[in-house]
């Protein structure tokens, strides 16, 4: 009987160690995912900020260039604004297919890695 109790105690101790190890593993995996997500966010933020600055300056240049060709500066800005209004309308119409679904799929795939 005493031998069975020792085996039972040993089994309980191993189960306790396993549970603690499993919890620690879950914590480490969570930390890894959060760190990966945060670093990706920071990296993409820097790229997006640089791209936005590029496009703003580029658009001013295109607007001024078109204005110079048309001999009225404001027409260049209206043309550029009209172009972006059309792009915005197209993106709005296809937002679920082109933006929402791919983003959802990407986020789910990243979380399940």
Within a 13 Å sphere around the CA of 38, how many CA atoms are in the beta-carbon half? 6
Reference 113, options 42, 50, 54, 37; nearest CA is: 37
| Proportion of the chain above pLDDT 90, given as a percent | 55
- Predicted TM-score (pTM) of the model is 0.62
Strands (E), the chain: none
Higher-pLDDT residue of 105 and 63 is 63
Checking if the pLDDT of 1 tops 70, the result is: no
**Using 50, 70 and 90 to split pLDDT, how confident is the model at 105?**
confident
What's the pLDDT score for residue 38? 87
Checking if the pLDDT of 50 tops 80, the result is: yes
């Amino acid at each position: 009987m005493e031998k069975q109790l020792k085996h039972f105690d040993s089994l309980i101790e191993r189960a306790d160690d396993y549970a603690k190890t499993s919890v620690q593993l879950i914590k480490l995996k969570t930390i890894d995912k959060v760190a990966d997500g945060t670093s990706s966010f920071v990296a993409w933020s820097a790229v997006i900020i640089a791209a936005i600055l590029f496009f703003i300056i580029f658009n001013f240049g295109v607007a001024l260039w078109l204005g110079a060709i048309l001999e009225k500066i404001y027409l260049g800005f209206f043309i550029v604004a009209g172009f972006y209004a059309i792009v915005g309308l197209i993106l709005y119409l296809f937002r679920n297919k082109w933006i929402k679904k791919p983003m959802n799929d990407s986020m789910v795939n990243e979380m399940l890695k």
